[in-house]
């Protein structure tokens, strides 16, 4: 088990954002997390990353209890919904950041960093834009930079919070296929949060559906579509892609 | 700032070249040429009347009795002492308020500290009260008859009417400038870049040094310039707490007033011209820093465009 959550709970004041979530992801697996807005998907990722502390329960990464580890020690790659690229750094420097901040003993040399970053930029097909600043990139390009930056630290686990949420339908579709290919190449354990159940079913090995701070159901896309045990779940999966989202997207064309 | 119509994110996110392009675009599509010239005329007249003319008069008065008299006045020991004191006071107050301003802005916007509103209000206090009252309050606390008077006397410490008092009063008066400049900026930027830095393994200091600080540097620079201008120019509070001991606790502004009251106009305006030049140097330093940055940035973009087919 690459990532395991055991009865993890998280409250914000009175509000229960995660309610005894138990959930595991296998080594090299890509699991999609779907669910309506406010169901706790981002909170779950942030707890795994260590950006938020759970109130109860345990997070294990490769069997090791993550409680004593800060977010920087968990070897996690996090891709934020709105990219969160460093706006004052070039694409190259963004990707190099994780290597440059290593303690001196573990830090690669300048030329090693350069070649590692070049490889990554090639992987995400952005080597031509390495001197640009984030504000000079399209949304899809920014997202790929964010991905390369997260991969640079050779994470044991990759956490993607609605990575394609802010992109239009066509780019979204391309990027999701590209992500799947990338995952087949790199094979890093990945949790992908998305609003779009079609996206989840297409990309992921397994899909977990969250509802009100709990994992309502988990299984392969085929499993989930077959057994719509939970009436809410049936509605959610049938509703794909969600009308509000597609209505918004039409404006872009 | 210049482009008030643009959304806040545009102010700091868009490279200066693009920003300039946008500005000319709105100017070309906006009001008629006549209206534009009238507006520009009013602005220029205003600037001339309230900035240009006074500055001119200062130098004019200072040089009235000739260049020789001007430089003699500048060589006066008390004047030089006042200049050194002013630089010393600014040299202490500005760095301290930079540290305070960054910490306060951080605590208010990024740290999850309780009582934000109270902290913001407190940081604004020095702007709200008259500096003279600030000085008087200060005397009530640290004067020999004040609250801490007996304790200070028992430990043989004198604060009122010393350089220490001048420094403390200046720190108080200039306290809000850096913080006020940074709070809205850091609020708008949020914490996601910092979170990204932390997940990538950055330590707290690395995160601040490599992510937060570069993002706030222009706002910080502006805050420093304002803070410095006020520190060097402060009159009211310093006037009260310093006791105006000539050649000891008189800063440049105080010294100028003393000279003026003694009808020594050449010396008064010569000293004023020094103060004005300090201000000009500060602004020029700010301008040069910004320009060298923008030039480096433009070079980078150009190199990159040349590389592309
Ligand atoms: N820092 C916080 N303080 C208070 N409440 C929070 C905080 N973070 C999240 N919440 C609440 O927890 C709930 C779950 O939030 P979360 O961001 O995990 O939802 P989500 O499933 O990611 O939703 P979305 O799809 O809209 O991103 C929401 O009701 C949210 O208001
Ligand atoms: Mg979310």
pLDDT digits (tens, 9 = 90+) for B53-95: 988 999 999 999 999 999 999 999 999 999 999 999 999 999 9
Note whether B200 contacts A102, CB cutoff 8 Å: no
What is the predicted pLDDT for the residue at B305? 67
Each residue of B186-219: pLDDT tens digit? Answer: 988 889 999 999 999 999 999 999 999 999 999 9
DSSP A240: -
Edge-to-edge order in the sheet of strand A76-79: A76-79, A157-161, A189-193, A30-34, A206-211, A214-219
The more confident residue out of B41 and A224 is B41
Mean pLDDT of all residues in B28-33 = 68
The string of DSSP codes covering B197-213 is HHHTT--HHHHIIIIIH
Among B147, B279, B294, CA closest to B225 = B279
- Across the interface, of A51, A82, A98, the residue whose CB is closest to B201 is A98
Pair A62, A213: CB distance under 8 Å: no
Of all protein residues, the one whose alpha carbon is nearest to atom 2 of ligand 1 is: A12
**From A93, which residue of chain B is nearest by alpha-carbon distance?**
B210
Whether A20 shows a pLDDT value over 90: the answer reads: yes
Rounded to whole angstroms, how far apart are CA atoms A186 and A202?
A: 18
Q: Which pLDDT band holds residue B239 (cuts at 50, 70, 90)?
A: very high
Each residue of B245-276: pLDDT tens digit? Answer: 998 999 999 999 999 999 999 999 999 999 99
Q: State the smallest CA–CA distance between residue A173 and chain B in angstroms.
A: 25
Whether A171 shows a pLDDT value over 90: the answer reads: no
Whether A42 shows a pLDDT value over 70: the answer reads: yes
Of all protein residues, the one whose alpha carbon is nearest to atom 22 of ligand 1 is: A42
Each residue of B291-305: pLDDT tens digit? Answer: 888 887 777 767 766
User: Which residues keep their CB under 5 angstroms from ion ligand 2?
Assistant: A 42
Q: Across chain A, what does the average pLDDT equal? A: 86
Q: Domain extents for chain B? A: 88-250
Each residue of B161-172: pLDDT tens digit? Answer: 999 999 999 999
- Span from the CA of A43 to the centroid of ligand 2 (angstroms): 7
Chain B residues near residue A80 by CB distance under 8 angstroms: 192, 195-196
Rounded to whole angstroms, how far apart are CA atoms B17 and A78?
A: 32
What is the predicted pLDDT for the residue at A61? 93
In the block, residue with structure tokens 């990139």: A137
Whether B45 shows a pLDDT value over 80: the answer reads: yes
ipTM, two decimals, is 0.86
| Exposure letters B168-189 (e unless 16+ CB within 10 A, then b) | bbbbbbbbbbbbbbbbebbeeb
Pair A72, B198: CB distance under 8 Å: yes
Q: Is B88-250 in CATH node 1.10.3720.10? A: yes
Both structure tokens of B225: 């310039």
Go through the domains of chain A in sequence order and give each one's CATH number. 1-41+52-75+156-240 (3.40.50.300), 85-154 (no CATH)
Chain B interface residues (partner A, CB cutoff 8 A):
13-15, 192-193, 195-203, 206, 210-211, 214-215, 300-301, 303-304, 307-308
Both structure tokens of A158: 């990759």
Q: What is the pTM of this model?
A: 0.80
Chain A interface residues (partner B, CB cutoff 8 A):
49-51, 70-74, 76-78, 80, 82, 84-90, 97-98, 100-102, 128, 131-133, 135-136, 149-150, 152-153
The more confident residue out of B274 and A168 is B274
Whether A89 shows a pLDDT value over 90: the answer reads: yes
Mean pLDDT of all residues in B230-245 = 93
Omega prior to A241 cis, within 30 of 0? yes
Pair A120, A94: CB distance under 8 Å: no
Chain A residues near residue B215 by CB distance under 8 angstroms: 87-88
The string of DSSP codes covering A110-159 is HHHHHHHHHHHHHHTT-GGGTT--GGGS-HHHHHHHHHHHHHHT--SEEE
Share of chain A above pLDDT 70, in %: 89
Whether A77 shows a pLDDT value over 80: the answer reads: yes
Chain B residues near residue A149 by CB distance under 8 angstroms: 196, 200
What is the predicted pLDDT for the residue at A248? 33
Mean pLDDT of all residues in B230-254 = 93
Q: Which pLDDT band holds residue B221 (cuts at 50, 70, 90)?
A: very high
In the block, residue with structure tokens 């000085």: B135
What is the predicted pLDDT for the residue at A176? 87
In the block, residue with structure tokens 């000319």: B24
Mean pLDDT of all residues in B101-107 = 91
The more confident residue out of B6 and B90 is B90
Q: Which pLDDT band holds residue A165 (cuts at 50, 70, 90)?
A: confident
* Ligand 1 binding pocket, CB closer than 6 Å: A 12, 15, 17, 35, 37-43, 195
């Amino acid at each position: 088990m690459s990532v395991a959550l055991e009865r993890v709970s998280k409250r914000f004041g009175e509000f229960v954002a995660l309610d005894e979530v138990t959930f595991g992801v296998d080594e090299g697996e890509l699991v999609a997390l779907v669910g309506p807005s406010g169901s706790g998907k981002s909170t779950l990722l942030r707890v795994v990353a260590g950006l938020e502390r759970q109130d109860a329960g345990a997070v294990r990464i490769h069997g090791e209890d993550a409680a004593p580890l800060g977010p920087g020690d968990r070897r996690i790659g996090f891709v934020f919904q709105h990219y969160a690229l460093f706006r004052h750094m070039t694409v190259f420097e963004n990707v190099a950041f994780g290597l440059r901040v290593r303690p001196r003993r573990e830090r690669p040399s300048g030329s090693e960093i350069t070649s590692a970053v070049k490889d990554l930029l090639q992987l995400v097909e952005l080597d031509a834009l390495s001197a640009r600043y984030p504000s000079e990139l399209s949304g899809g390009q920014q997202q790929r930079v964010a991905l390369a930056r997260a991969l640079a630290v050779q994470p044991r686990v990759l956490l993607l919070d609605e990575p394609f949420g802010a992109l239009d339908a066509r780019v979204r579709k391309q990027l999701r296929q590209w992500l799947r290919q990338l995952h087949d190449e790199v094979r890093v354990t990945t949790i992908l949060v998305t609003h779009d159940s079609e996206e989840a079913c297409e990309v992921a090995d397994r899909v977990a559906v969250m509802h009100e701070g709990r994992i309502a159901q988990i299984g392969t896309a085929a499993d989930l579509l077959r057994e719509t045990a939970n009436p809410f779940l049936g509605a959610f999966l049938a509703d794909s892609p969600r009308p509000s989202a597609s209505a918004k997207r039409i404006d872009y064309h | 700032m210049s482009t008030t119509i643009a959304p806040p994110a545009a102010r700091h996110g868009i490279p200066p070249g693009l920003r300039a392009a946008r500005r000319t675009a709105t100017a070309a599509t906006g009001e008629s040429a006549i209206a534009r010239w009238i507006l520009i005329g009013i602005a220029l007249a205003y600037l001339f009347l309230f900035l240009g003319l006074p500055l001119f008069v200062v130098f004019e008065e200072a040089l009235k009795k000739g260049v020789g008299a001007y430089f003699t006045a500048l060589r006066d020991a008390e004047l030089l002492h006042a200049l050194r004191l002013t630089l010393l006071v600014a040299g202490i107050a500005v760095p301290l308020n930079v540290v305070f301003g960054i910490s306060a802005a951080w605590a208010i916007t990024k740290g999850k500290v309780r009582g934000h509103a109270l902290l913001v209000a407190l940081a604004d206090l020095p702007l709200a009260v008259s500096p003279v009252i600030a000085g008087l309050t200060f005397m009530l606390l640290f004067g020999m008859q004040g609250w801490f008077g007996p304790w200070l006397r028992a430990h043989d410490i004198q604060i009122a009417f010393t350089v220490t008092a001048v420094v403390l009063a200046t720190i108080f008066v200039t306290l809000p400038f850096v913080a006020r400049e940074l709070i809205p900026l850091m609020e708008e930027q949020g914490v996601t870049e910092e979170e990204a830095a932390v997940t990538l393994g950055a330590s707290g200091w690395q995160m601040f040094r490599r992510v937060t600080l570069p993002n706030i540097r222009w706002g910080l620079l502006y805050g420093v310039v304002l803070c410095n201008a006020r520190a060097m120019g402060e009159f009211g509070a310093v006037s009260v707490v310093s006791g105006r001991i000539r050649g000891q606790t008189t800063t440049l502004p105080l010294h100028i007033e003393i000279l003026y009251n003694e009808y020594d106009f050449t010396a008064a305006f010569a000293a004023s011209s020094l103060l004005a030049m300090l201000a000009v140097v500060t602004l020029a330093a700010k301008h040069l820093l910004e320009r060298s940055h923008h030039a480096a940035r433009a070079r980078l973009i150009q190199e990159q465009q040349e590389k592309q087919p």
